[in-house]
Amino acid sequence: MIRKIFSYDVIDRIGRELMKKFILLLFSFFLLCSCHTNDSTINGVVYANVYTHYKTLQPYICLTFDDGPDQVQTPKVLDLLKKYGIKATFFVLGEEVEYQKEMLKKVVEAGHEIGNHFFKHDNIHKLTEQEIRESIVKNNELIKEAVGVTPKLVRPPYGIVTDTLKKVCKELDMDIILWNKDSKDWDKTPDSTIIKNMLKSPANGDIMLFHDGSKTYTNTLSSLDVIIPSLQKKKFEFVTISNLLDQ
């Protein structure tokens, strides 16, 4: 008699395991496809990626800060991030970088990521294509001069995205980063409201928006001092935008 090498139970078990792996891979694919806009071509024009969040299987969340660097507020933000051992992404304005190059160096030396927030905080609906390009390029050059790094990420002022912006960013090989959780800390929103909104239904791949561009945003620091440890207790890990997109 020929001895059976595998029983039907073993074969069935192997089949179930393979099916689980297939479903997991399929699920991962749909997660990634559901959370951002890929490069697209319309009438022969190729547009850049636009991300509001980026779903991952890992419990990753991104903290982002706009409008800095600021000589008073940014150091306080850096101290808070150091306190909890986390990294963030700072979208900086060129007109601030011009006079705060040493502060920008401190952000980079602390291991955080730098993104481009235009030279000035302009409404891009009022800018021509050339003015949009010049604002991004000028800021990139200032950042490169200050810290030796050219950003690959751009966040338009007010989160305004147009086809012109997407076209320019594709030509500059830059991704557009928005957010799906807005603290509205710039609007003197009470701490309790910020904390409640930012901790509501946290999910893998969330991108949170805060600001470090003014010392008047005291609620930024106090609310984050609650939000960060609360999410860490839920096993979320804070990473930079580039780390998130690498998943």
Catalytic residue among 53, 66, 112, 191: 66
What gap in Å lies between CA 108 and CA 74, rounded to an integer?
Answer: 12
What gap in Å lies between CA 181 and CA 203, rounded to an integer?
Answer: 11
State how far the alpha carbon of 46 is from the alpha carbons of 53, 139, 160, in Å: 21, 23, 19
Q: Give Rg (Cα) of the chain.
A: 22
What gap in Å lies between CA 157 and CA 170, rounded to an integer?
Answer: 18
HSE toward the beta carbon, residue 213, CA cutoff 13 A: 23
Is 36 a catalytic site residue? no
Catalytic residue among 117, 206, 211, 212: 211
Is 117 a catalytic site residue? no
Q: Which residues are catalytic?
A: 66, 211
